[in-house]
């Protein structure tokens, strides 16, 4: 894609977000042809949707399950940016009308404590864990501008990996004794459990997602820095919340996080 097409695609996606319009797909001339194209559009989109004075605060990782990868016909995860103005604390009350979709994803997240160095031989769980200073129970709210999220992996990546908002619980700094892969996760809606899973749902272990991201970002000129937060993908089946729903996600050994749509 030339620069003009990148900018036009980003401006279209930004306008769709502002106007709450939904389309079948990007126009053919504006569709990314590679991951490099998709992340260029994503970067331009982020510039256009960040309010003055706001910043990106980390990353979301999508397509960390086999089902999602098969649906999008891709053999790797995708990343997007977490944006300060779309990050909310535990117990947030969010306007349902601010979203086109409110797909609930219970996710293990991490806060980076020090620079994650580039390693020519690749990271391991141990090397990336050494750079993490906290685990965070989180709910990502997936929102998208397409009729269906399975429109295509490159279009999803371009639309900031269809990120809508992120709700973070209390940080857990004493986390190294928790087996995150086997840790159970439950999601309760209006007092009734609706789905359950575990950390194994995301590439087998949330730390595997972090290892992948630490090696993937440098391919696109990016790195994990101190203070960055990363949410690692959905651990359970998903569902779409409606106005009036009160959601609680519970994570064994890590805690819980809550959000209500009004």
pTM: 0.94
**Residues 29-43: pLDDT tens digits?**
999 999 999 999 999
Span 203-220, average pLDDT = 97
CA 128, CA 132: separation in Å to the nearest integer? 7
Which candidate, 126, 41, 103, 44, places its Cα nearest to that of 78?
41
Domain residues of the chain, as ranges?
Answer: 53-261
- In sequence order, the 6+-apart residues with CB closer than 8 A to the CB of 85 are 50, 51, 54
**Residues 85-127: pLDDT tens digits?**
999 999 999 999 999 999 999 999 999 999 999 999 999 999 9
CA 156, CA 233: separation in Å to the nearest integer? 15
- In the predicted model, is pLDDT for residue 150 greater than 80? no
- In the predicted model, is pLDDT for residue 71 greater than 90? no
State CA 77 to chain mean position distance: 11
pLDDT band at residue 215, thresholds of 50, 70 and 90?
Answer: very high
With pLDDT > 90 as the criterion, what percentage of the chain qualifies? 91
What is the pLDDT at residue 187? Answer: 98
- In sequence order, the 6+-apart residues with CB closer than 8 A to the CB of 10 are 41, 42, 44, 45, 47, 48, 158
Q: Quote the mean pLDDT of the chain.
A: 95
- In the predicted model, is pLDDT for residue 67 greater than 80? no
Which candidate, 240, 239, 258, places its Cα nearest to that of 248?
258
Helix (H, G, I), strand (E, B) or coil at 125: helix
- In the predicted model, is pLDDT for residue 205 greater than 90? yes
pLDDT band at residue 68, thresholds of 50, 70 and 90?
Answer: confident
Q: Where does residue 53 fall: left (phi above 0), alpha (psi -120 to 50 degrees), or beta otherwise?
A: left
Superfamily per CATH, domain 53-261: Fumarylacetoacetase-like, C-terminal domain (3.90.850.10)
Span 176-201, average pLDDT = 97
pLDDT band at residue 191, thresholds of 50, 70 and 90?
Answer: very high
């Amino acid at each position: 894609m030339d620069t003009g097409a990148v900018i036009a695609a980003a401006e279209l996606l930004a306008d769709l977000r502002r106007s709450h319009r939904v389309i079948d797909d990007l126009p053919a001339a504006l569709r990314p042809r590679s991951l490099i194209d998709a992340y260029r559009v994503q970067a331009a989109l982020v510039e256009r949707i960040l309010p003055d004075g706001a910043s990106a605060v980390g990353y979301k990782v999508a397509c960390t399950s086999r089902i999602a990868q098969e649906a999008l016909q891709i053999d790797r995860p995708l990343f997007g940016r977490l944006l300060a103005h779309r990050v909310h604390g535990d117990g947030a009350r969010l306007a349902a009308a601010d979203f086109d979709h409110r797909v609930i994803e219970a996710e293990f997240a991490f806060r980076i404590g020090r620079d994650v160095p580039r390693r020519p031989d690749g990271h391991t769980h141990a090397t990336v864990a050494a750079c993490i200073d906290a685990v965070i129970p989180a709910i990502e709210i997936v929102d998208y501008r397409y009729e269906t999220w399975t429109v295509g992996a490159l279009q999803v990546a371009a639309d900031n990996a269809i990120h809508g908002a992120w709700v973070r619980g209390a940080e857990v700094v004493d986390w190294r004794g928790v087996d995150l892969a086997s840790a159970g996760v439950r999601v309760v809606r209006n007092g009734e459990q609706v789905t359950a899973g575990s950390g194994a749902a995301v590439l087998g272990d949330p730390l595997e997602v972090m290892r992948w991201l630490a090696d993937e970002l440098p391919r696109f000129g990016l790195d994990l820095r101190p203070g960055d937060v990363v949410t690692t993908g959905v651990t359970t089946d998903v569902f779409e919340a409606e106005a009036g729903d009160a959601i609680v996600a519970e994570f064994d050994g890590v805690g819980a996080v809550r959000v209500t749509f009004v």
